[in-house]
């Protein structure tokens, strides 16, 4: 009698050590398939087959397909460690934003599919996660700006407006512009955004 391959994906199994964790293989497969076909059109069986494991392994690691998408975005989105990055620059608004842009660049270079999944936003689950992604980013950046900019110059709503502008410009430019001159372009953006505050 054959047994399910679920055990082959369990932590510490030989198959896990040979090919990476079953969980990581599932995230890799979901990332590729969601980016190519969209979240709604991709089944858990297709994700399992693409990862080289069983459909049961998907639910061993993630209770639902929505939970898989949520973890994928939480762990691999362009600002998964946003608060930690900004915390490394507690007294310098520009340095914090430059570090964040650099982290976004690196994540997009390594995991650009995740951003494309969110930008497609063809279904309610993806749209909700994308809105949460943007809201969390704006909140963290605005908090950083309130800590690092002169409060006498920062009017009501300015921190959030600056945060939204920065995040929009950085994400959009990383998707559609040549990367060669991005450091110079980033400095220009920061000059405009922070003019009058620093």
Secondary structure (DSSP) of 62-117: -SSHHHHHHHHHHHHSTTTTHHHHHHT-TT-HHHHHHHHHHHHHHHHHHHHHHHHH
18 with 111, same domain: the answer is no
pLDDT at residue 87, as a whole number? 92
For 122, residues 6+ apart whose C-beta sits below 8 A from its C-beta are 38, 39, 40
Per-residue pLDDT of 141-154, as tens digits, reads: 999 999 999 999 99
Pick the more confident residue, 100 or 123.
100
Task: Residue count of the chain, please give it.
Answer: 198
Residue 182 has pLDDT above 70, yes or no: no
Count of domains forming the chain: 2
68 with 95, same domain: the answer is no
For 106, residues 6+ apart whose C-beta sits below 8 A from its C-beta are none
Share of the chain above pLDDT 70, in %: 81
DSSP 5: G
Among 40-44, 103-107, 111-115, 166-170, the minimum mean pLDDT is found in 111-115
pLDDT category at 2 given cuts 50, 70, 90 is very low
118 with 50, same domain: the answer is no
Residue 155 has pLDDT above 70, yes or no: yes
81 with 147, same domain: the answer is yes
Average pLDDT over residues 2-27: 56
180 with 135, same domain: the answer is yes
Identify the domain boundary among 16, 38, 73.
73
Among 8-12, 60-64, 73-77, 179-183, the minimum mean pLDDT is found in 8-12
Contact 61, 13 (CB under 8 A): no
DSSP 153: T
Identify the domain boundary among 58, 73, 88.
73
Residue 76 has pLDDT above 70, yes or no: yes
49 with 97, same domain: the answer is no
Pick the more confident residue, 48 or 197.
48
How much is the pTM?
0.74
116 with 179, same domain: the answer is yes
Other Cβ atoms less than 10 A from the Cβ of 168: the count is 13
Pick the more confident residue, 15 or 128.
128
């Amino acid at each position: 009698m054959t047994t399910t391959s679920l055990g082959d994906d369990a932590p510490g199994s030989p198959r896990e050590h040979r090919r990476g964790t079953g969980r990581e293989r599932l995230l890799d497969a979901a990332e590729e398939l969601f980016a190519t076909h969209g979240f709604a059109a991709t089944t858990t069986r297709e994700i399992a087959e693409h990862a080289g494991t069983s459909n049961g392994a998907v639910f061993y690691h993630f209770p639902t397909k929505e939970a898989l998408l949520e973890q994928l975005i939480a762990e691999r989105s362009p600002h998964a460690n946003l608060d930690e990055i900004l915390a490394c620059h507690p007294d310098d608004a520009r340095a914090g934003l430059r570090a964040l842009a650099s982290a976004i660049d690196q994540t997009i270079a390594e995991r650009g599919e995740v951003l494309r999944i969110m930008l497609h936003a063809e279904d309610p689950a993806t749209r909700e996660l994308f809105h949460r992604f943007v809201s969390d980013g704006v909140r963290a950046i605005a908090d950083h700006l309130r800590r690092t900019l002169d409060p006498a110059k920062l009017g009501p709503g300015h921190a959030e407006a600056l945060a939204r502008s920065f995040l929009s410009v950085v994400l959009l430019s990383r998707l559609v512009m040549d990367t060669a001159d991005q450091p110079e372009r980033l400095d220009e953006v920061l000059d405009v955004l922070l003019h009058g505050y620093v």
